[in-house]
Amino acid sequence: MPASKAKSSKRIAVYDTTLRDGAQALGVSLSLQDKLSLAAHLDDIGVDYIEGGYPLSNPKDRAFFREVRKLKLRHARIAAFGMTRKPNTRPSEDVYLAALKSCPVSVMTLVGKSWDLHVQKVLRTTLEENLDMIGDSVKFFQRSRREVIFDAEHFFDGYKHNPEYALASVLRAAETGADLICLCDTNGGTLPDDIAAILKQVSKEVKVPLGIHVHNDSGVAVAGTLAAVAAGATHVQLTVNGLGERCGNADLTTVVPNLILKMKKQCLRPNSLRKLTELSRYVAEITLQPLSGNQPFVGPAAFAHKGGMHVHAMKRDTRTYEHVRPEDVGNSRRIILSELSGAATILAKSEKLAVIKDRKLLRKVLEQVQDLENEGYQFEVADGSFEILLRKALGRWHQFFELDHYRTAILRRGGDEPLTEAIVKILIDGHVEHRVAEGDGPVNALDEALRRGLRPHYPAVSEMRLVDYKVRVINPKQGTAAKVCVIIQSSDKEHQWGTVGVSENVIEASWLALVDSVEYKLLLEEDKEKAKKCRGKKAQSP
């Protein structure tokens, strides 16, 4: 049975339109491989429908419908998107409907006009002809035994302007065999209470299941979607991370956990909510659209605690400042270090190593953090640098290498591209490593020269990579003599960490952050080796 026909009011069908509506977002362009890979991720998490695109719009979408069949999806059904027939044209003669019909999928999503303004000003046809266009197009696909979803475009604007005609448009779709009517707030201007009230009115007249599709132009797409479900909608159309034209669509990563955890609705596959954060970050990566730090449920700051009072309360009961458990949505709790932190924050951050029982030492570390942040350091995004600071305070740190000197040079001749070279001389256990490297800028060259010197002694540095580099001016009134804060994000196969450096010299600030990044990786390797030896001793003991 199609998800749209499910009888249980607790079951909400999730229709993902990231590949079509989401791809219309400013700055987003998905390759064929991106679309196929994302479809596999969406199927894995358990969405009911994946809208693949518009078959006649471009060769990529046509190729997607052909290639997606090879994925052998386990749960999701692929939907093709298209418009009702053109005015004064038979369905069998309409090239757009023909392309849609030839698409090898079992679900057809037809969009039709339900606002008389659009019928008269955009389509430039009569109101009755538009109703015939809707009915003829739905029947055209019903004869081919396809599931038909009718998207009533601009429905809420149309209903507010001419409720009789808006209602007539969805009744015609229902009467001619549409399996589901999705009411669309295409301009995103309808408030949640109005969405709920209108949907309730429509449900009294329309006897097929109703869905909801809300844009975010008023910043209430998620609220409008949840209000529609509370009013009786059993189908929600969403995009991952709220991608979409203009201000975007209702965000799957916010709507779905609210449906499951707060409204006790059934959607997705069992336990798949734990993959939500991974899905969100994957989409951010392939679309080159960075996640908002404070994105609910899946954002890096969604479960981040910075204020000392908050952290103190969290140590006693996590419910004090968390509305759900981070692990339920695949996210993790973060304790943030800053000048606002108190002793409880230092204690919480130090648990990985050893709880600091010496109150004087605890106060010393806290004062050091506050002094460094006053100079421009930002430990809230530099957990690697903070752990190094903490290990030094605990006496659990040693120097991996000693710097003799580094030097960078930039050479530019005429109109040629500038060339950057770095020289690094370091000492490791009495051995001198003197290395030269070229790079895309001085920081990249320094990074490569340093690693060349370290690799013979610490091969693990080859596993790490720099994934982000940011520079912030601390005291801009000083002009070119201002201090800068450099933050580097690094990762390996298992971890991601941040490090920070501050100096009046941007190269020196970068070097400080770079050294912390490398040393943190080497500390991780040491911890791994110690854990392995510990497990070996336990296995050998009788």
Q: What is the pLDDT of residues 16-36, one digit of tens each?
A: 999 999 999 998 989 999 999
Six token digits for residue 389 = 């600071």
Sign of CA dihedral 311, 317, 322, 328: positive
Task: Tell me how far apart the alpha carbons of residues 3 and 233 are, in angstroms, rounded to a whole number.
Answer: 13
Residue ranges per structural domain of the chain: 11-287, 304-373, 376-397+466-542, 401-457
- Can 11-287 and 376-397+466-542 be said to share one CATH topology? no
Six token digits for residue 259 = 């449906």
Q: What is the pLDDT along the chain (542 residues), one digit of tens a residue?
A: 444 444 446 899 999 999 999 999 998 989 999 999 999 999 999 999 999 998 877 888 889 999 999 998 999 999 999 999 999 999 989 998 988 888 999 999 999 999 999 999 999 999 999 999 999 999 999 877 889 999 999 999 999 999 999 999 999 999 999 999 999 999 999 999 999 999 999 999 999 999 999 999 999 999 999 999 999 999 999 999 999 999 999 999 999 999 999 999 999 988 899 999 989 988 987 887 877 878 999 988 888 776 667 766 777 777 888 899 999 999 877 666 554 455 455 555 555 545 455 667 777 777 777 777 778 777 767 888 888 888 887 778 889 999 999 999 998 887 788 899 999 999 999 999 999 999 988 999 999 999 999 999 999 999 998 888 888 887 666 665 678 889 898 888 778 888 999 999 999 999 999 999 999 999 999 888 887 777 666 666 66
Six token digits for residue 411 = 């050479």
Burial class (CB in 10 A: 0-12, 13-18, 19+), 231: buried
CA atoms within 13 Å, Cβ hemisphere of 65: 26
Dihedral angle computed from the Cα positions of residues 62, 65, 70 and 76, in that order, rounded to the nearest 10 degrees: 160
Question: Tell me, what's the pLDDT at 396?
Answer: 80
Six token digits for residue 353 = 């190593």
Question: Tell me, what's the pLDDT at 227?
Answer: 98
Cα dist from 245 to 26, 56, 79, 102, whole Å: 7, 20, 20, 27
Q: Which CATH class is domain 376-397+466-542?
A: alpha beta
Kind plus residue range of the DSSP H or E element containing 470: strand 465-473
Question: Tell me, what's the pLDDT at 7?
Answer: 43
Angle among Cα 257, 263, 267 to the nearest 5 degrees reads 55
Instruction: Report whether 400 contacts 525 (CB < 8 A).
Output: no
Which residue is associated with the tokens 């358990």?
46
Task: Supply the DSSP symbol for 69.
Answer: G
Task: Taking each helix axis as running N to C, give the angle between helix 276-287 and helix 32-45, from 0 to 180 degrees, rounded to the nearest 10.
Answer: 170
Question: Tell me, what's the pLDDT at 389?
Answer: 85
Q: Compute and round to an integer the Cα radius of gyration of the chain.
A: 29
The single-letter code of the amino acid at 67 is E
The hierarchical CATH code for the domain 11-287 is: 3.20.20.70
Question: Tell me, what's the pLDDT at 476?
Answer: 63
Which residue is associated with the tokens 């951050």?
349
The hierarchical CATH code for the domain 401-457 is: 3.30.160
Instruction: Report whether 506 contacts 521 (CB < 8 A).
Output: no
Task: Convert the pLDDT of each residue in 41-60 to its tens digit.
Answer: 999 999 999 999 988 778 88
Six token digits for residue 360 = 């004087």
